[in-house]
A and B are shown apart, each in its own frame.
Chain A
Amino acid sequence: MSARPRTFSKFRDVQAELDLIGAAIYRDEDGAESLIVRSPYAINYVHSYAEDSPFFLGLAEGRLRGSKCRKPKCGFVYGTPRSHCMVCGAPTEWIDLPTKGRVHSWTTCHFGSEAFLKETPYNLALVEFDGVGSLLLVRLKDCVESDLYVGMPIEAKFEPNPRYSITDVWFVPAR
């Protein structure tokens, strides 16, 4: 067997070799050689949703929840959880958002972070709801790039086996 990994002087080539066999030798400009290896690295991230908890619990019940400013004179309505109003600073209360809305803007991601790379291309949309003064960013499924347009009516779908993450909700073209 050949015990010695291959040697490269460009880091891009080292990266490719690591993808392939997990080890490579990098030779720098001065001719110094270093063995580079790739080892798996993972951690569990334990965190609280704190004041946002009702939002994620709501998704599990098939409810989409936003926030409304408690001050009657203001009453600004947000399409996402906000504990305090960004317009007047007063505390907010939870409200149920409509499950139907329209595409305010959209993109199709042909690239993504590692977790989503396998799913590319996928669509992201900012949803606008009637009577709501801010937007909600969601995945838009069951449609492709050429189907999408600003103003397109869409509706929410919920994950039957919730994982208590934002991926518990996505939108599809409204029927």
Chain B
Amino acid sequence: MKYVLLLYEDDAERVAKTEEQVAICVAYAEAMAKAGILVGGERLRPAWSATTVHVAEGETHLLDGPYAEAKEQLGGFHVIDVPDLDAALEWAARCPSARRGRVEVRPIWSS
């Protein structure tokens, strides 16, 4: 089953410490790749760089910023393919972001 690990962290801190944390994250992603479970994933630019779009009654509304204002923001994600939730949760528990913030494990909608 495919799961996405959504990495929520204090956005300001994550961006400030990008340099030192990048090596840790790369090592973790490499471990997933070696295990043959990594499907993909990306690191996101700071939440302030987001633009949120909503269309109502034919009109497009833009908001400068992320969908929800919060200290902890989505900072990146991994997509993994593992046998079941237990395996996904085990990988999530190893994730550096689970220490700095929260990791949400969400199954991907596929047949």
Q: Are A and B co-members of a single complex?
A: no
Residues of A within 8 A of B (CB): none
Residues of B within 8 A of A (CB): none
